[in-house]
Amino acid sequence: MPGGVPGATVSVGGARNAGLLAVRILASGADAEAEQLRAKMVDFQRHLRDEAHAKGERLRSRRSQRTGFGSA
């Protein structure tokens, strides 16, 4: 985009990310609805972070298990 014209893109098939981008834009306002959206986005991000940490922990715990590959 030329200078001064903001642009945002999401991937083809990236409906979830497109929705999250839309919520961020709408939540940038100063009214009560924007405040509610910001609060919901914070909750969503917290949940997403907790899921990512749990997945990472599961992967780290599996690293110590034998897979049957390599030398004993």
Question: For every one of its 72 residues, what pLDDT tens digit does the chain have, with 9 covering 90 and above?
Answer: 678 887 888 888 888 888 999 999 999 999 999 999 999 999 999 999 999 999 999 998 887 776 666 655
Give one DSSP letter per residue of 41-72, joined into a string: HHHHHHHHHHHHHHHHHHHHHHHTS--S-S--
Domain positions in the chain are 32-63
CA–CA distance, 58 with 36 (Å, rounded to integer): 33
Please state, as a whole number, how many other Cβ atoms lie within 10 Å of the Cβ of residue 37.
19
